[in-house]
Structure formats: structure tokens, C-alpha cells
Structure 1
Amino acid sequence: MDHAYAIKHLTMFLEWVNQHLSDLESAHHQEGVPYPDPPQELELEEVLVRQIENAYAPNLGDYATNQWVQPNRWMIAREAAIQALGRARSAQEIAAFLRPTSPALTADGLHSWVWEPAAPLWAAEAYQDAVLAAARTVNRRLQQKLGRHDVGETDLCMQSFDMKAPAEGKPRLRFDGDRSTPTWRARQDGAKYTSAGAFLAIRNLAAHEDEVNWSQQEALEYLATFSVIARWIEECTVETAL
């Protein structure tokens, strides 16, 4: 629901109805002066306002318009509009209050390979540089663990988690578990493509674009991606050729 739209029309309606009630009050105190008719704009706006009122509370706008004489008829209309306006103004706040509590991802809870190099840059709101620093550190840690500095990070991830047997100069990373099961093979393949994809889609963008307009939330999610990869690298054992 467009609460701003509702607030605009309810406020406009209340201004007109209050003015009309003031005119009715003036006529009441003048003997022989008939009650003035409501302005056409007020009556036209009421048609829309009653629909808005019903959107906020069923039947709120279904008050009768012909069983009360002036000024009671418009006092009833004003009361309904006030109630709807109160609901419209507080709708977003109430929705936020009633929304289920969601867990929070804390940056300093990310893997140390990710957060430690990113933290000073993050503090300076240099989110792109923070993500790049984290990615580079994860890559260096992977190189150190495998003793390889001969290929780029994407190729290194593809080779490291590959299920082929290790070859001379090409050690592999292996998760614990029964390697004969589909679950183990799926995890190994998933780590292979996820880690390679992260360097391709995130690290390369951060490194080669002059400026990437990442929000703080987006950058935090990218850091979390590299945190997962860092945990996989640290968890896995290195398997070398016999």
C-alpha cells in the first residue's frame, strides 16, 4: 500500500472538512442563515477517502451519509479520516515492529582472513577496496596452503577442489568424509565452482572497475562469500601426489 498517497489525500480531506465544519459553526450562530452546502471538492475527495479508510480498517469508510443532519454528518466523516490517517502514518513503523526478528550478520564474526584485511578499509567506507583486500588475502592463504604461485586464483580454485587425483605440482584440497558418497562429491564440486565463481564475479569486478557502487549490505554479503571460502580452505586437508 502506498502510505504516502493515503496520507496526502487524507490530510487534504481533513483540511477541507475542517473548513466546512467551521463554516457550519458560523452559520449556526447566525439566526436565519442556512447551513452552507459542502464544496464540490470535499464531496469528490470523500469518495476516494472512504476507499482509503476501508483499506486501513474494514468498514471504516462505510459510514452513512444521509441519516445525520449538518454538522454531525461531517463530524462522523472527520473522525473516520482521522483514524485512517493515524493508521497510515504509523503503518510502516508498526510493520517493522511486527516483522519477525532476523539474525544479524556481524562483520567481525567473519573469518579472520577476510575481516582483518577488510576492517580498516571498511571503517573508511571504502567497501570496494575492503572486498578486494579480503579476496586477495584468501587467495594468498590458498597459495600458501598448497605451495602454488603459478596460476591465477580462479584456476587455482578449480584445480584445488577438483576430484581428480593430485598430480606432481598440483595438490588438491579434500573435505573430510566418505568420498564414495554423492554428498561428498557434491560438496567438493560445489566448493570448486563457488570459490572460482567468487573470484570471477566479485574479486575481478572489484579489481578492474574504477568504481563499483556497492551498498554496505552488498559489500558485506560479498565479504561473507569469501568468509565461507576461507573456512573451506582452512577445513580441507591437502592431498599430494604419491
Structure 2
Amino acid sequence: MEAANADQTGGMPWPDWPQDLVIELVRARKIVEVCDQHALSELNQYNSEGLAYWQLVRLAVTEALGHARHADDVDAFLRPKSPAIGADALHLWVWEPAAPLWAAEAHQDAVLAAARVVNRRLQLKLGRHDIGEMDLCMQSFDPKPPTEGKPRLRFDGDVDTPTWRARQDGAKYLSAGAFLGIRNLAAHEEQVTWTQQEALEYMATFSVVARWIEECTVETAT
């Protein structure tokens, strides 16, 4: 009898006494009350007439526990699909140096390699190799006019508008922060505790910086 019961319940033997079935039903009902009102209404569609009563209770318990145990799977299936970042769709300056390291699961080194290439591209674009990457970012995107030996990177747009200035300032602080808070950690810590997702997000940050550097034009002092 126990083996037969186990087959009917997916490998879980049913209790021998009816009152234990009722306890299981109450537990399952409480779970389903939280996650699925439609399923709860279906649990009430059995009656107590005749010998089939406990068979119907058993069926109700099975369905309720099934709803409860698979609630996360159902929720994941019904949840709207979220966008995904494809690493190979990151800016070429970021993914090209990072790809072989990423494939070897050396995520910290991949982030560091990407940061170094972005910095090198910034240096080449401005012709500056005299200061560190954080200071270079702060000076490059600064909305102030360029001075001798200190060219600026400029977004398109009306330089007299608050929006243009905000964009320059945003790029200035974000790019500097990326090198200060991400690159330096990757370079100076023996081993960081980043997850793969975190490392991917950090590379995506440098991808944004790379796109800004490539997008901007260089303004020099006249």
C-alpha cells in the first residue's frame, strides 16, 4: 500500500491516517492562499459524500502541494523577460582585450585589461601621457575651455545649455570614478570578490566610457 501511495504522489508516501491528510491539506492551503487564489478556489471543489471523500482530499492535497512546490518556477515563467547584456556586444576597446581572459574565467584580469585599453585610447586621442587616468578623465571632459597642453573632449550640442554642461560633467565624474573605483581595485587587490555578474557590469561601465571617448571631438586651445 505504501509503495502504491508513493507512486501516486511523486515519490512522497502519504500518511496512513486521514487526519494527517487533513493537516497536509491545511498546510498546502495556507501556502496557496499566498501565491495563487485561483488554485485555492479549486481546492474547495470536493465533497464529503461516500467513500471517495479521502480520495478527493488526497487529490486536493497533491494539487495544492504541486502549486506550492512549483510556485517559483511558474512565477519565473510568467515574469516578463528581462534584457540581457551580451559581453561580445560591449565596445570593442573593452571586449577585445577582455575576451580571452573572460573565457578563462579570470574576470578580475578581464576588467583590468579592458580598463587599460580604454585609458590607452584616451591618451592617444588627446596626445597626453603625462598624468594618471583619473586626472586625465577629470581634465578631458571638463566643461571649462581647453588650455595649452590640455585639450578637452566635447559632446555635440549647444555648449551654452545646462543639458550640454550636465552631460560633460556626468562623463567627467563617471569616467574618473570608473578608474578610481573599479580599475584601481582590480589592479591593486590580489583577488577581488566580484561575481561574474558584477565583473560584467564593471566592464559595461568601461564600455560606456569608451563610447563617450570615441563619440566626442577634441577641442584644443587656440
TMscore range, shorter length: 0.7 to 0.9
The reply to whether residue 58 of structure 1 matches residue 40 of structure 2 is yes
Q: Residue 102 of structure 1 is aligned with which of 67, 82, 85?
A: 82
> What is the Cα deviation at residue 181 of structure 1?
1.1
**Partner letter of residue 14 of structure 2?**
E
Aligned Cα root-mean-square deviation (Å): 2.3
The reply to whether residue 49 of structure 1 matches residue 48 of structure 2 is no
The reply to whether residue 203 of structure 1 matches residue 183 of structure 2 is yes
> CA–CA distance in 2 between the matches of 1:236 and 1:162?
12
The residue correspondences of 1:133-212 to structure 2 (distance < 5 A) are: 133-212=113-192
Q: Residue 92 of structure 2 is aligned with which of 112, 120, 123?
A: 112
> CA–CA distance in 1 between the matches of 2:152 and 2:125?
10
Q: Which runs of 5+ in 2 are unaligned?
A: 1-8
The reply to whether residue 127 of structure 1 matches residue 107 of structure 2 is yes
The residue aligned with 1:237 is 217
Identical counterparts, % of pairs:
66
The residue aligned with 1:30 is none
When normalised by structure 2's length, the TM-score is 0.85
Task: Kindly indicate whether the alpha-carbon contact (under 8 Å) linking 1:14 and 1:81 is maintained by their aligned counterparts in 2.
Answer: no
> CA–CA distance in 1 between the matches of 2:53 and 2:11?
18
Count of aligned pairs: 211
User: Structure 1 88/51 Cα, relative in aligned 2: closer, same or farther at 3 Å?
Assistant: closer
> CA–CA distance in 2 between the matches of 1:156 and 1:193?
11
> CA–CA distance in 1 between the matches of 2:215 and 2:185?
27
The residue aligned with 1:213 is 193
Quick check: which has more Rg, 1 or 2?
1
User: Structure 1 45/95 Cα, relative in aligned 2: closer, same or farther at 3 Å?
Assistant: closer
SS at 2:40's partner residue?
coil
When normalised by structure 1's length, the TM-score is 0.78
User: Structure 1 50/164 Cα, relative in aligned 2: closer, same or farther at 3 Å?
Assistant: closer
User: Structure 1 13/120 Cα, relative in aligned 2: closer, same or farther at 3 Å?
Assistant: closer
